Amino acid sequence: MSPPTAKQADLFSGVRVFYREQGNAINAPTILLLHGFLSSSHQFRNLIPLLATEYRVIAPDLPGAGFTEAPSNFVYSFESLTAALADFLDVLHIKKFTMYIFDYGAPVGLRLALQRPEAIQAIITQNGNAYLEGFGDIWEPLREYWTSDDSLEDRKKIEDKLLTFEAIKSQYEHGTPDVSRVPLESYYTDHALLQRPRMREIQIDLLMDYQNNLDLCAEFQEYFRKSQVPLFAIWGKNDAIFGPAGAKAFKRDLPNAEIRLIDAGHVAVESHTELIAEDILTFLREKNLWELDVGMGVM
Protein backbone atom coordinates (compact mmCIF):
# COMPACT_ATOMS: atom_id res chain seq x y z
CA MET A 1 0.00 0.00 0.00
CA SER A 2 1.49 3.34 -1.05
CA PRO A 3 2.01 6.09 1.56
CA PRO A 4 0.14 9.42 1.45
CA THR A 5 1.60 12.27 -0.56
CA ALA A 6 3.21 15.18 1.29
CA LYS A 7 2.13 18.59 0.01
CA GLN A 8 2.18 22.29 0.92
CA ALA A 9 -0.49 24.97 0.62
CA ASP A 10 0.23 28.70 0.84
CA LEU A 11 -2.42 30.76 2.62
CA PHE A 12 -3.05 34.48 2.14
CA SER A 13 -2.00 35.03 5.78
CA GLY A 14 1.53 33.89 5.01
CA VAL A 15 1.07 30.49 6.63
CA ARG A 16 2.43 27.58 4.58
CA VAL A 17 0.52 24.45 5.54
CA PHE A 18 2.18 21.08 5.25
CA TYR A 19 -0.33 18.30 4.74
CA ARG A 20 -0.65 14.66 3.74
CA GLU A 21 -3.20 13.58 1.16
CA GLN A 22 -4.32 10.36 -0.45
CA GLY A 23 -7.37 9.15 -2.35
CA ASN A 24 -9.51 10.27 -5.26
CA ALA A 25 -9.51 14.07 -5.19
CA ILE A 26 -12.14 14.35 -7.94
CA ASN A 27 -15.01 12.02 -7.08
CA ALA A 28 -14.52 10.78 -3.52
CA PRO A 29 -15.93 12.57 -0.46
CA THR A 30 -13.38 14.09 1.89
CA ILE A 31 -12.27 13.09 5.38
CA LEU A 32 -10.28 15.72 7.26
CA LEU A 33 -7.97 14.41 10.00
CA LEU A 34 -7.05 16.84 12.81
CA HIS A 35 -4.13 15.88 15.05
CA GLY A 36 -3.44 16.51 18.73
CA PHE A 37 -1.10 18.21 21.20
CA LEU A 38 2.59 18.11 20.20
CA SER A 39 1.75 15.81 17.31
CA SER A 40 1.12 16.39 13.60
CA SER A 41 -0.24 14.67 10.52
CA HIS A 42 2.52 12.13 11.13
CA GLN A 43 0.22 10.38 13.62
CA PHE A 44 -2.13 9.55 10.73
CA ARG A 45 0.51 8.14 8.37
CA ASN A 46 -0.84 4.58 8.74
CA LEU A 47 -4.54 5.48 8.97
CA ILE A 48 -4.62 7.57 5.80
CA PRO A 49 -3.99 4.73 3.31
CA LEU A 50 -6.67 2.58 4.95
CA LEU A 51 -9.32 5.30 4.62
CA ALA A 52 -8.12 6.41 1.18
CA THR A 53 -9.45 3.20 -0.38
CA GLU A 54 -12.87 4.88 -0.36
CA TYR A 55 -12.32 8.56 0.45
CA ARG A 56 -10.13 11.55 -0.24
CA VAL A 57 -8.19 11.90 3.01
CA ILE A 58 -6.42 15.10 4.04
CA ALA A 59 -4.38 15.62 7.21
CA PRO A 60 -2.86 19.09 7.74
CA ASP A 61 -0.24 20.10 10.28
CA LEU A 62 -1.81 22.92 12.29
CA PRO A 63 0.35 26.02 12.84
CA GLY A 64 2.85 25.30 15.60
CA ALA A 65 2.99 21.62 14.70
CA GLY A 66 4.78 19.38 12.26
CA PHE A 67 6.21 21.10 9.20
CA THR A 68 3.70 23.93 8.79
CA GLU A 69 5.41 27.33 8.69
CA ALA A 70 3.88 30.53 10.03
CA PRO A 71 5.15 34.14 9.91
CA SER A 72 6.93 35.53 12.95
CA ASN A 73 3.92 37.68 13.92
CA PHE A 74 1.48 34.76 13.96
CA VAL A 75 -0.44 34.68 17.25
CA TYR A 76 -0.80 31.14 18.54
CA SER A 77 -4.30 30.65 19.85
CA PHE A 78 -7.07 28.20 19.06
CA GLU A 79 -8.94 30.99 17.32
CA SER A 80 -6.00 31.56 14.97
CA LEU A 81 -5.51 27.83 14.38
CA THR A 82 -9.16 27.62 13.36
CA ALA A 83 -8.81 30.61 11.04
CA ALA A 84 -5.78 29.02 9.39
CA LEU A 85 -7.68 25.75 8.95
CA ALA A 86 -10.63 27.57 7.37
CA ASP A 87 -8.28 29.33 4.94
CA PHE A 88 -6.60 26.02 4.15
CA LEU A 89 -9.93 24.44 3.22
CA ASP A 90 -10.76 27.44 1.04
CA VAL A 91 -7.44 27.19 -0.80
CA LEU A 92 -8.17 23.51 -1.50
CA HIS A 93 -11.80 24.34 -2.44
CA ILE A 94 -13.18 21.90 0.12
CA LYS A 95 -16.74 22.81 1.03
CA LYS A 96 -18.03 19.61 2.67
CA PHE A 97 -16.26 16.92 4.67
CA THR A 98 -16.30 14.48 7.52
CA MET A 99 -13.80 15.36 10.22
CA TYR A 100 -11.81 13.13 12.52
CA ILE A 101 -11.02 15.10 15.67
CA PHE A 102 -8.48 14.13 18.29
CA ASP A 103 -7.18 16.04 21.33
CA TYR A 104 -6.30 19.59 20.12
CA GLY A 105 -8.04 18.79 16.86
CA ALA A 106 -11.37 18.67 18.70
CA PRO A 107 -11.66 22.35 19.72
CA VAL A 108 -10.20 23.44 16.39
CA GLY A 109 -12.64 21.30 14.41
CA LEU A 110 -15.61 22.21 16.58
CA ARG A 111 -14.80 25.92 16.38
CA LEU A 112 -14.86 25.48 12.62
CA ALA A 113 -18.20 23.68 12.87
CA LEU A 114 -19.66 26.68 14.68
CA GLN A 115 -18.58 28.86 11.76
CA ARG A 116 -19.48 26.45 8.96
CA PRO A 117 -22.13 24.01 10.19
CA GLU A 118 -23.20 23.31 6.62
CA ALA A 119 -19.72 21.97 5.80
CA ILE A 120 -19.69 19.16 8.37
CA GLN A 121 -21.15 15.90 7.07
CA ALA A 122 -20.14 13.78 10.06
CA ILE A 123 -17.75 13.74 13.01
CA ILE A 124 -15.44 10.95 14.10
CA THR A 125 -14.05 11.73 17.53
CA GLN A 126 -11.17 9.68 18.88
CA ASN A 127 -10.54 11.03 22.36
CA GLY A 128 -11.54 14.47 21.19
CA ASN A 129 -13.51 16.04 24.01
CA ALA A 130 -16.39 18.55 24.04
CA TYR A 131 -17.71 18.11 27.61
CA LEU A 132 -16.28 19.28 30.91
CA GLU A 133 -16.74 15.88 32.54
CA GLY A 134 -14.29 14.35 30.08
CA PHE A 135 -11.29 16.14 31.59
CA GLY A 136 -9.19 13.94 33.88
CA ASP A 137 -7.22 14.82 37.01
CA ILE A 138 -4.12 15.23 34.86
CA TRP A 139 -5.46 18.70 33.98
CA GLU A 140 -4.94 20.07 37.51
CA PRO A 141 -1.47 21.58 36.80
CA LEU A 142 -2.94 23.39 33.81
CA ARG A 143 -5.89 24.66 35.82
CA GLU A 144 -3.38 26.14 38.26
CA TYR A 145 -1.42 27.63 35.38
CA TRP A 146 -4.55 29.28 33.98
CA THR A 147 -4.98 31.22 37.24
CA SER A 148 -1.30 32.20 37.42
CA ASP A 149 0.46 35.40 36.35
CA ASP A 150 1.99 33.53 33.39
CA SER A 151 5.45 34.42 34.66
CA LEU A 152 8.64 32.80 33.39
CA GLU A 153 8.58 30.63 36.50
CA ASP A 154 4.98 29.57 35.82
CA ARG A 155 5.83 28.72 32.23
CA LYS A 156 8.91 26.77 33.27
CA LYS A 157 6.79 24.61 35.59
CA ILE A 158 4.47 23.70 32.72
CA GLU A 159 7.40 23.03 30.42
CA ASP A 160 8.96 20.67 32.96
CA LYS A 161 5.63 18.94 33.50
CA LEU A 162 4.34 18.51 29.95
CA LEU A 163 7.11 19.09 27.41
CA THR A 164 9.72 16.54 28.45
CA PHE A 165 10.50 13.40 26.48
CA GLU A 166 8.99 11.22 29.21
CA ALA A 167 5.78 13.27 29.26
CA ILE A 168 5.43 12.94 25.49
CA LYS A 169 6.14 9.22 25.58
CA SER A 170 3.58 8.76 28.36
CA GLN A 171 0.82 10.16 26.13
CA TYR A 172 1.40 7.24 23.79
CA GLU A 173 2.05 4.46 26.27
CA HIS A 174 -0.12 5.21 29.30
CA GLY A 175 -3.24 3.05 29.18
CA THR A 176 -1.98 1.04 26.20
CA PRO A 177 -2.11 -2.66 27.16
CA ASP A 178 0.62 -3.63 24.70
CA VAL A 179 3.11 -0.78 24.31
CA SER A 180 4.97 -2.74 21.64
CA ARG A 181 2.12 -1.72 19.32
CA VAL A 182 3.16 1.93 19.66
CA PRO A 183 5.88 2.69 17.08
CA LEU A 184 8.94 4.38 18.58
CA GLU A 185 8.98 6.99 15.82
CA SER A 186 5.67 8.38 17.08
CA TYR A 187 6.89 10.03 20.26
CA TYR A 188 10.50 10.43 19.09
CA THR A 189 9.23 12.49 16.13
CA ASP A 190 7.07 14.67 18.38
CA HIS A 191 9.98 15.27 20.73
CA ALA A 192 12.45 16.01 17.93
CA LEU A 193 10.17 18.60 16.34
CA LEU A 194 9.71 20.26 19.72
CA GLN A 195 13.44 21.08 19.84
CA ARG A 196 13.20 23.68 17.07
CA PRO A 197 13.43 27.41 17.90
CA ARG A 198 10.36 28.93 19.60
CA MET A 199 8.45 25.65 19.64
CA ARG A 200 8.32 25.34 23.42
CA GLU A 201 7.16 28.93 23.76
CA ILE A 202 4.46 28.30 21.15
CA GLN A 203 3.21 25.17 22.92
CA ILE A 204 3.00 26.94 26.26
CA ASP A 205 1.06 29.80 24.65
CA LEU A 206 -1.43 27.26 23.31
CA LEU A 207 -1.67 25.51 26.67
CA MET A 208 -2.57 28.81 28.31
CA ASP A 209 -5.14 29.56 25.61
CA TYR A 210 -6.75 26.13 25.92
CA GLN A 211 -8.92 27.41 28.78
CA ASN A 212 -10.91 29.41 26.21
CA ASN A 213 -12.02 26.14 24.62
CA LEU A 214 -13.70 25.14 27.86
CA ASP A 215 -15.73 28.35 27.69
CA LEU A 216 -17.04 27.21 24.30
CA CYS A 217 -18.24 23.78 25.41
CA ALA A 218 -21.82 25.03 25.79
CA GLU A 219 -21.75 26.35 22.21
CA PHE A 220 -20.31 23.09 20.91
CA GLN A 221 -23.12 21.22 22.63
CA GLU A 222 -25.74 23.58 21.23
CA TYR A 223 -24.32 22.88 17.77
CA PHE A 224 -24.77 19.15 18.40
CA ARG A 225 -28.37 19.59 19.53
CA LYS A 226 -29.36 21.78 16.58
CA SER A 227 -27.51 19.93 13.84
CA GLN A 228 -27.87 16.33 15.05
CA VAL A 229 -24.70 15.74 13.09
CA PRO A 230 -23.88 12.02 12.73
CA LEU A 231 -21.15 11.30 15.25
CA PHE A 232 -19.06 8.25 16.05
CA ALA A 233 -16.91 8.36 19.20
CA ILE A 234 -14.25 5.67 19.15
CA TRP A 235 -12.40 6.18 22.40
CA GLY A 236 -9.39 4.79 24.22
CA LYS A 237 -11.13 4.01 27.51
CA ASN A 238 -7.85 4.06 29.49
CA ASP A 239 -7.06 7.65 28.54
CA ALA A 240 -6.03 9.74 31.58
CA ILE A 241 -6.33 13.01 29.62
CA PHE A 242 -9.83 12.66 28.15
CA GLY A 243 -11.63 9.91 30.03
CA PRO A 244 -14.55 7.78 28.80
CA ALA A 245 -17.05 10.11 30.46
CA GLY A 246 -16.27 12.53 27.66
CA ALA A 247 -17.26 9.95 25.07
CA LYS A 248 -20.49 8.97 26.80
CA ALA A 249 -21.52 12.61 27.19
CA PHE A 250 -22.11 13.00 23.44
CA LYS A 251 -25.28 10.93 23.87
CA ARG A 252 -26.78 13.74 25.93
CA ASP A 253 -27.07 16.01 22.90
CA LEU A 254 -26.80 13.46 20.10
CA PRO A 255 -29.04 10.50 21.06
CA ASN A 256 -28.14 8.69 17.82
CA ALA A 257 -24.40 9.03 18.35
CA GLU A 258 -22.46 5.78 18.25
CA ILE A 259 -20.01 5.26 21.11
CA ARG A 260 -17.33 2.57 21.22
CA LEU A 261 -14.86 2.31 24.08
CA ILE A 262 -11.76 0.31 23.17
CA ASP A 263 -8.96 -1.07 25.34
CA ALA A 264 -6.48 1.65 24.45
CA GLY A 265 -4.90 4.83 25.75
CA HIS A 266 -4.88 8.42 24.53
CA VAL A 267 -3.31 8.03 21.08
CA ALA A 268 -5.33 4.98 20.12
CA VAL A 269 -4.78 5.60 16.42
CA GLU A 270 -1.17 4.45 16.83
CA SER A 271 -1.91 1.20 18.67
CA HIS A 272 -5.27 0.32 17.06
CA THR A 273 -4.96 1.72 13.54
CA GLU A 274 -6.66 -1.10 11.67
CA LEU A 275 -9.55 -1.41 14.13
CA ILE A 276 -10.25 2.33 14.01
CA ALA A 277 -10.08 2.44 10.21
CA GLU A 278 -12.46 -0.49 9.85
CA ASP A 279 -14.96 1.01 12.29
CA ILE A 280 -14.85 4.41 10.57
CA LEU A 281 -15.48 2.88 7.16
CA THR A 282 -18.35 0.80 8.53
CA PHE A 283 -19.92 3.82 10.25
CA LEU A 284 -19.75 5.95 7.11
CA ARG A 285 -21.13 3.21 4.88
CA GLU A 286 -24.06 2.51 7.20
CA LYS A 287 -25.00 6.15 7.52
CA ASN A 288 -24.79 6.79 3.77
CA LEU A 289 -23.78 10.27 4.79
CA TRP A 290 -22.89 11.55 1.39
CA GLU A 291 -26.57 11.77 0.45
CA LEU A 292 -27.21 14.18 3.31
CA ASP A 293 -26.68 17.89 3.81
CA VAL A 294 -25.97 17.57 7.51
CA GLY A 295 -26.04 20.85 9.43
CA MET A 296 -27.34 22.96 6.54
CA GLY A 297 -28.66 26.21 7.96
CA VAL A 298 -28.92 25.03 11.55
CA MET A 299 -26.99 27.82 13.23
User: Does the annotation mark 266 as catalytic?
Assistant: yes
Instruction: Select which of 35, 42, 266, 272 is catalytic.
Output: 266
Among residues 47, 58, 67, the alpha carbon closest in space to that of 22 is found at 58
Tally of CB atoms within 10 A around 166: 9
- Determine how β-strand 16-22 pairs with β-strand 56-60: antiparallel
Catalytic residue positions, numbered:
266
